[in-house]
Amino acid sequence: MNINISGWEGLTVSLVLAVLLIGFLSFWTLKRVIPPHWLLLSLIIKLGIPFVYFTVPVGNAWFLLDDITYYNQGVELLNAGYNPFTIFFNEAGMATLFRLSGGTHILYGWLNLFSMFILGPYYYSPVFFNIFLTCISGYFIYKISIFCGFERRYSSALVCFFILHWDVLVWSSFLNLKDVVVLTMTVILFYALVLVQIRLNFTALITVAVVLFAFLWIRFYVPIMVLLAFGLYYLFVLNGIFRVKLGQLIVILIIGALIFFELGVNKIGIYFSMLDVSPSTIVTGAIRMILTPQPWSIDPKYSFLLIPSIFHLFFIVPMLVGGCVLWVRSKKARFFIIYFLISILLYASFDELQGPRHRVQLLMVIVWMQFHFIWEFLKLVVEKKIPRLGG
């Protein structure tokens, strides 16, 4: 691949300013969520990794096809003089954005323009923006955890574990990819549906509608999975099938139906034409989705996943145990586990959707299940129900 990008000039003023700005915004976002000293240490680690990475020669870097495409979209739009805020009112600008995106999924191309407009026309600009998005995800995960009945100390530790999780770090620190954006939007949609449960008001419905609409421009099928999970959770967990608050459920289903018809029958049909469903393919697909990637079979261009893949396999059983315990511990947290199960089953039906990138949008639930196992295990150790090593 012929790589012609800007962003590996070594230690530059632009790189330092990008780290400082994202560090400030991240600290401001999480300052009431994580204790300041722990937050500062976490951000030094979190931002230190890409800071060092982007000062090394470009020949040692990781690249995929999509990341270079997104980078070129942002550079071309910026060089053409388009502004990320005024482009929506510029017919030629919007036409260019659609052309460069090759379809309707224009959101991440626009986000490349936005991040480069703020941080400069460098490959690392959208990468650092993605790092900031993981902190935004962390903020909403904290709110969700509190809503699910967990104490502040637990919720703070969960967020700290999330922003420093090996999968979150590798997918947000090196590559210019949209998967972190999809993860953040999924977490925000979760929170919006949490608001609906607290009180069905105008703010809650607008938040749900805006996030659902935004998904049309980046990964259209995610709202279908989330709304399906919410419907199952609402019917069988939250109220019981014969005690549904019909008005609330109808409003959510209407929003979901509008999103579905906006997608168009053709786009849905394309994905259903790829469907390969049988008991054996579902089982093997689900196992592949959960276990991918294996450390011994990683493609060289995905070598950045080597260490995370080792940790992932090590935590497979703890994750499953933690998910079961979390299901019992919090009735409200069952919504997210249902979403995880639905997503695994859906991806198991499509060979093209079983790679490690599609598991990124599930990281909130994966990390939470892993963390809950660790938290409960440490509680047992402290209570001396499990002997300490060497003790």
Q: Confidence band (pLDDT; 50, 70, 90) for 170?
A: very high
Exposed e or buried b for every residue in 340-356, given b needs 16+ CB within 10 A?
A: bebbbebbbbbeebbbb
Q: Which residue has the higher pLDDT, 184 or 206?
A: 184
Q: What is the pLDDT of residue 37?
A: 95
User: What is the per-residue DSSP string for 257-278?
Assistant: HHHHHHH-HHHHHHHHHT----
CB count in 10 Å sphere of residue 246: 8
Q: What percentage of the chain reaches a pLDDT higher than 70?
A: 85
CB burial of residue 139 (10 Å; 0-12, 13-18, 19+): buried
pLDDT in tens, 206-225: 888 889 889 989 988 888 88
How many structural domains does the chain have? 1
Q: What is the pLDDT of residue 242?
A: 40
| Short-list 373, 229, 225, 352, CA closest to 292 | 352
Alpha helices in the chain (DSSP H): 13-30, 36-53, 65-79, 91-101, 107-119, 124-147, 152-163, 166-173, 179-198, 202-215, 222-233, 246-263, 265-273, 279-291, 306-314, 316-329, 334-348, 363-382
| Least-confidence region, from 135-149, 240-254, 329-343 | 240-254
Nearby residues of 224 by Cβ (< 8 Å), 6 or more positions away: 256, 259, 260
Whether 391 is in a domain gets the answer: no
Q: What is the pLDDT of residue 201?
A: 74
Q: Does 352 score more than 80 pLDDT?
A: no
Whether 387 is in a domain gets the answer: no
CB count in 10 Å sphere of residue 151: 10
pTM over 0.85: yes
Whether 386 is in a domain gets the answer: no
C-alpha 6/C-alpha 94 separation (Å) is 25
The boundaries of the domain holding residue 261 are 13-380
